[in-house]
Amino acid sequence: MQGPKSAVARARGDLARRTIGCAAAAALLLAPLAAPGQSQETSGAAFYRGKTLTIIVATKPGGGYDAYARLLAKYLPRYLAGSTVVVRNVPGAGHIIGANEVYNARPDGLTIGTFNKGLIVAQIAGTSGIRFDMTKFTWIGVPDSEARVWIVSKQSPFRTLKDVLEGTRTFTEASNGVGSEDYIDAMVLKNIFGLKALKIVTGYQGSDADLAMLRGEVDGQIGTLSSLEPLVQNEGARIILAIGKARLSRYPDVPLLSEVAPPDKKSLAGLLLSQAVLGHPFGAPPAVPGDRVQALRDAFAAALRGPELRADAARAGLVVDPLDGATTAQLVAEAARPSGDVVALIKAVMAAPGKQ
């Protein structure tokens, strides 16, 4: 039988336990209120406090790559609190110099860059000067996964893709230059469809190709939907083919390359699709620590979701349709390891332009 002291001890113990339990509960309830407005910060994001993140652009100032880099530089510090983001242009050798610099930078997460996804094709072809492996970049994401389109002038006798495929008259295609994205697109389409009468005319910079189409000097050109749609809307051209993930919502009757490519050319069509949807990709060197990679990817995605960035992009005529880093890495890996016949074609096109 327990005495009065035992009962008192039990009561005191019960009271102590209840007091401790109430205090713990109160602490849990009050903890979120201790620092109003303060969000939890991951270890990766915390690394960037007081640091400078450099975005290398593999072109001169101006143009799409530079525009997307400067847009993101403005908003990334909001999601990498305490950081500073600067843009540095490293042009030359068709984006190879800038891509080399990104790839060979210290893998500390303080250097990222944007450069032409056409370097996948350059790597396949064994282009000299490349000191990177596109599959080993740490991919942060793509701000603009956008379809590419093939358009024809309304002055041209070719009105549809069927006209081009069945025509015997030479079809003249405007292009920036040998090895450029529109040149490679045209050469691959020529091979996919067996277009012996397609002739690529190089040397058209910027809006030169649009003017050449309006003057009737060339029949068509290939580019992103956003860059060529003004010509279509002004009734200077029509779209005959889309290279993208799905049919164009505003032009649902335009066929997709994946729908019309011959079965034995599907791998070539897949290469063009990956090139189309990769837009202006952003990557970092290999072997960046995982927590910093995640912080960069999270900040990149959050910035591109922000209404203020989207409003700025709309004013600048920039498309915002992002791909995350993991998806970007997968698409690059698939494109950079094509079948043997694709490798042979790309090497032949790059070695002897215009003869395939």
Q: Which CATH number covers residue 215?
A: 3.40.190.10
Query: Per the domain annotation, does 202 fall within a domain?
Result: yes
Measured distance CA(89)–CA(122) in Å, rounded: 21
Q: Report the pLDDT value the prediction gives residue 1, as an integer from 0 to 100.
A: 43
pLDDT tens figures, 49-99 = 999 999 999 998 988 899 999 999 999 999 999 999 999 999 988 889 999
Measured distance CA(270)–CA(330) in Å, rounded: 13
Q: Is the pLDDT of residue 296 over 80?
A: yes
Query: Per the domain annotation, does 31 fall within a domain?
Result: no
Q: Is the pLDDT of residue 30 over 70?
A: no
Answer yes or no: do 160 and 268 share one domain: yes
Q: Report the pLDDT value the prediction gives residue 19, as an integer from 0 to 100.
A: 41
Two tokens, residue 197 = 């009468």
Query: Per the domain annotation, does 117 fall within a domain?
Result: yes
Query: Per the domain annotation, does 17 fall within a domain?
Result: no
Two tokens, residue 249 = 């919502």
Measured distance CA(18)–CA(354) in Å, rounded: 85
Q: Is the pLDDT of residue 24 over 60?
A: no
Task: Report the candidate in 233, 238, 245, 93 with the shortest Cα–Cα distance to residue 160.
Answer: 238
- Distance, C-alpha 252 to centroid of its chain: 24
Answer yes or no: do 175 and 203 share one domain: yes
Query: Per the domain annotation, does 329 fall within a domain?
Result: yes
Answer yes or no: do 138 and 94 share one domain: yes
Q: Report the pLDDT value the prediction gives residue 276, as an integer from 0 to 100.
A: 86
Coil vs helix vs strand at 175: strand
Question: What is the rounded (10 degree) CA torsion for 227, 232, 237, 240?
Answer: 80
Q: Is the pLDDT of residue 6 over 70?
A: no
Task: Report the candidate in 278, 103, 100, 72 with the shortest Cα–Cα distance to residue 181.
Answer: 278
What pTM, to 2 d.p., does this model score? 0.75
Q: Residue 25, Cβ neighbours under 10 Å: how many? A: 10
Answer yes or no: do 73 and 108 share one domain: yes
Q: Report the pLDDT value the prediction gives residue 356, as an integer from 0 to 100.
A: 47
Q: Is the pLDDT of residue 140 over 50?
A: yes
Answer yes or no: do 315 and 295 share one domain: yes
Stretch 207-235: mean pLDDT, rounded?
Answer: 91
Query: Per the domain annotation, does 39 fall within a domain?
Result: no
Q: Is the pLDDT of residue 289 over 90?
A: yes
Answer yes or no: do 261 and 298 share one domain: no
Stretch 41-48: mean pLDDT, rounded?
Answer: 92
Query: Per the domain annotation, does 2 fall within a domain?
Result: no
Structural domain boundaries enclosing 226:
148-276
Task: Report the candidate in 281, 350, 288 with the shortest Cα–Cα distance to residue 134.
Answer: 281
Burial class (CB in 10 A: 0-12, 13-18, 19+), 352: exposed
Q: Which residues have CB under 8 Å from 11's CB, separation 6+? A: none
Measured CA distances, 27 to 14, 32, 39, 40 (Å): 20, 9, 18, 18
Answer yes or no: do 172 and 251 share one domain: yes
* Mean per-residue pLDDT of the chain: 86
Query: Per the domain annotation, does 349 fall within a domain?
Result: no
Answer yes or no: do 139 and 234 share one domain: no
Domain boundary (258, 276, 294) is at 276
**Total count of domains within the chain:** 2
In percent, the amount of the chain with pLDDT more than 90 equals 62
Stretch 174-203: mean pLDDT, rounded?
Answer: 87
Stretch 112-117: mean pLDDT, rounded?
Answer: 94
Answer yes or no: do 200 and 229 share one domain: yes
Stretch 167-196: mean pLDDT, rounded?
Answer: 88
Domain boundary (254, 276, 298) is at 276
Stretch 269-283: mean pLDDT, rounded?
Answer: 90
State the CATH number of the domain containing residue 84.
3.40.190.150
Q: Which residues have CB under 8 Å from 102's CB, separation 6+? A: 56, 58, 111, 112, 113, 115, 132, 137, 283, 284, 285
Stretch 284-311: mean pLDDT, rounded?
Answer: 98
